[in-house]
Amino acid sequence: MRKIGQFGLVAVALVALSGPSFAAGDATKGKAAFAKCGICHQVGPGAKTVVGPELNGIVGRKAASVADYASMYSPGMKKLGADGFVWTEENLDKWTADPKAMIPDSPMSLAFPGIPDAGERADVIAYLKTFPGP
């Protein structure tokens, strides 16, 4: 058997650690946690755009792409969409952690302080994933 040198060990460690860093959440817990989001957003059959856009299919969707909310998006959100930004689980995690850090002029960043607990954010995202888009 061949010995792995110091640089080989570093390479193996980097490969092992470079996988996705987003933790899986619990959709059941996320349903309860979503209540704070539900003030402005809807999900599920019959979800409508209200204060904020409906969130069915949000995971994997391009930013600022809900047609019946187009005129309501902030300039910062419109720029993200124009730049091709996609709501991956990681991007949703960053957004829900601190909306103001991503887009200071967004209505959400002005009204919603974020969800500081990483586990709770993961749960909300797991819940959102249960609602695919059209």
Long-range contacts, stretch 80-88, CB < 8 angstroms, 24+ apart: 86/60, 86/61, 86/62, 87/58, 87/59, 87/60, 87/61, 87/62, 87/63, 88/59, 88/60
Number of domains in the chain: 1
In a domain, 124, yes or no: yes
Q: What is the pTM of this model?
A: 0.81
When pLDDT is cut at 50, 70 and 90, the band that residue 2 belongs to is very low
When pLDDT is cut at 50, 70 and 90, the band that residue 22 belongs to is low
Q: Contact, 22 vs 90, CB < 8 A?
A: yes
Q: Domain with 109 in it: what CATH number? A: 1.10.760.10
pLDDT on residue 134: 72
pLDDT on residue 16: 37
In a domain, 78, yes or no: yes
In a domain, 1, yes or no: no
In a domain, 73, yes or no: yes
pLDDT on residue 104: 92
Q: Above pLDDT 90, what percent of the chain?
A: 76
pLDDT on residue 121: 97
Tokens representing residue 62 in the block: 């391009």
Report the alpha-carbon distance of residue 61 to residue 17 in Å, rounded. 27
In a domain, 63, yes or no: yes
Q: Contact, 49 vs 26, CB < 8 A?
A: no
Domain limits at 40? 24-128
pLDDT on residue 23: 65
Number of Cβ within a 10 Å radius of residue 90: 12
- In angstroms, how far is CA 41 from the centroid of its own chain? 14
The arithmetic mean of pLDDT across residues 13-42, rounded, is 76
In a domain, 14, yes or no: no
In a domain, 75, yes or no: yes
In a domain, 108, yes or no: yes
